[in-house]
Amino acid sequence: MDKITSSKIQELAYECKVEEAMTKDVVTVAPSDTMVDVWMKLRDKRISGLPVVSEGNIIGIISVEDFIKCIIFGKKEEQVKDNLTAHVEFIYSDEQLIHVIKKFEKYRFGRFPVKDRDTKKLIGIITKGDVIRCLLKRFEKEYLEEEAQKNKMCNIFKDIRSDKTTVILKYNIKGKEFKKAGEKSSFLKSALLRMGIATEIIRRIVIASMETEMNIIIFTDGGEITVFVEEDKIKVNAVDNGPGIPDIEKAMEPGYSTAPDWVREMGFGAGMGLPNIKNYTDEMKINSRVGEGTNLEFIVNI
């Protein structure tokens, strides 16, 4: 176990209370029961010791060893009250687990009865196994919470105070690298999620950026997508040095495409790219020069 883990567990031993770890459903015997009754209970419940209880008050404890002694001395028909260990170490339910651990070290008993501090009645029993289970459970829970915290969306525009906050994300897109096409938009999606942007806004931005990314990969040797996230809008700017779009009006018509067949077979290039971008954004501008490249800008208002 590394140092951080062990100190964390120690910390939890101080935080956890006995009542969290104890077994509430306690199997007990009465003082008037016989040692044979004890044996049957120990065997059926697969445990090695039982509290002896009279009217809710614990008066002793009886264990496998006590039973073995009775057999050796031929006293197995005798009553529990004559064979129990009367001096009982117990613990209160509101104590910290660390106290139980120290008690286990001190007394070497297998279990301690748990009493309620006010009523002094028996309300549970605790073994080493219970302690370990409880600590591990808490440890796991805290670990998961910590992980969740790490991934938790922070609402950047509420957390950061300024007169104007703009978060700029830059994605370099390699041309013709179809295998990775869509990856950058996928990164953008998780980035926006973590910034606490509403999912419907993210969806529109990501759909438009995915089409943009495809266009850059299909038609050019590469380009750059820059995303400006502000409190009231997200603006995306895509620049490439590709062949340019000769007829933008035509390119905006649904179904119009100059994509090669291999692109169509990949499920893109069916002439829906630019129309999709237009449909999902609030503003869209294209500047393109044949032989020089294209500059596409779109905005989704928040």
Judge contact between 188 and 227, C-beta under 8 A.
yes
Residue 265 sits in the site that holds other proteins (CB under 8 A): yes
Residue 173 sits in the site that holds other proteins (CB under 8 A): no
Residue 298 sits in the site that holds other proteins (CB under 8 A): no
Rounded least distance, CB 169 to other proteins, Å: 16
Residue 258 sits in the site that holds other proteins (CB under 8 A): no
Query: Under rule CB under 8 A, which residues in 207-226 are in contact with other proteins?
Result: 207, 210-211, 214
Q: For residue 102, how many other CB atoms are within 10 A of its CB?
A: 12
Query: Under rule CB under 8 A, which residues in 57-116 are in contact with other proteins?
Result: none
Rounded least distance, CB 244 to other proteins, Å: 21
Rounded least distance, CB 262 to other proteins, Å: 10
- CA–CA distance, 268 with 214 (Å, rounded to integer): 8
Which residue from 25, 118, 232, 261 is in contact with other proteins, where contact means CB under 8 A? 261
Residue 254 sits in the site that holds other proteins (CB under 8 A): yes
Residue 189 sits in the site that holds other proteins (CB under 8 A): yes
Which residue from 27, 64, 272, 302 is in contact with other proteins, where contact means CB under 8 A? 272
- CA–CA distance, 9 with 7 (Å, rounded to integer): 5
Choices 27-35, 55-63, 68-76, 253-261 (CB under 8 A): range interacting with other proteins:
253-261
Residue 75: half-sphere exposure toward Cβ, Cα within 13 Å? 14
Q: How distant, in Å, are the alpha carbons of 168, 208, 233 from that of 227? A: 6, 12, 11
Rounded least distance, CB 285 to other proteins, Å: 20
Nearer to other proteins, 53 or 181 (CB): 181
Report the side by side order of strands in the sheet with 222-230.
Answer: 166-174, 222-230, 233-240, 293-301, 283-289
Q: Which of 214, 199, 216, 213 is nearest to 300 (CA)?
A: 199
Nearer to other proteins, 276 or 287 (CB): 276
- CA–CA distance, 121 with 76 (Å, rounded to integer): 28
Q: Which of 110, 112, 74, 75 is nearest to 95 (CA)?
A: 112
Q: For residue 198, how many other CB atoms are within 10 A of its CB?
A: 10
Rounded least distance, CB 247 to other proteins, Å: 15
Tokens of 21: 């770890």
Residue 175 sits in the site that holds other proteins (CB under 8 A): no
Q: Which residue has the tokens 């008050």?
A: 57
Which residue from 67, 112, 171, 268 is in contact with other proteins, where contact means CB under 8 A? 268
Query: Which helix (H) or strand (E) segment is 224 a member of?
Result: strand 222-230
Choices 3-11, 21-29, 58-66, 257-265 (CB under 8 A): range interacting with other proteins:
257-265
Binding-site size, other proteins (CB under 8 A): 32
Which residue from 82, 94, 183, 292 is in contact with other proteins, where contact means CB under 8 A? 183
The per-residue DSSP string of 25-73 comes to: S---B-TTSBHHHHHHHHHHHT-SEEEEEETTEEEEEEEHHHHHHHHHT
Rounded least distance, CB 100 to other proteins, Å: 36
Residue numbers at the binding site for other proteins (CB under 8 A): 178-183, 185-186, 189, 199, 203, 206-207, 210-211, 214, 254-255, 257, 261, 264-268, 270-273, 275-276, 279
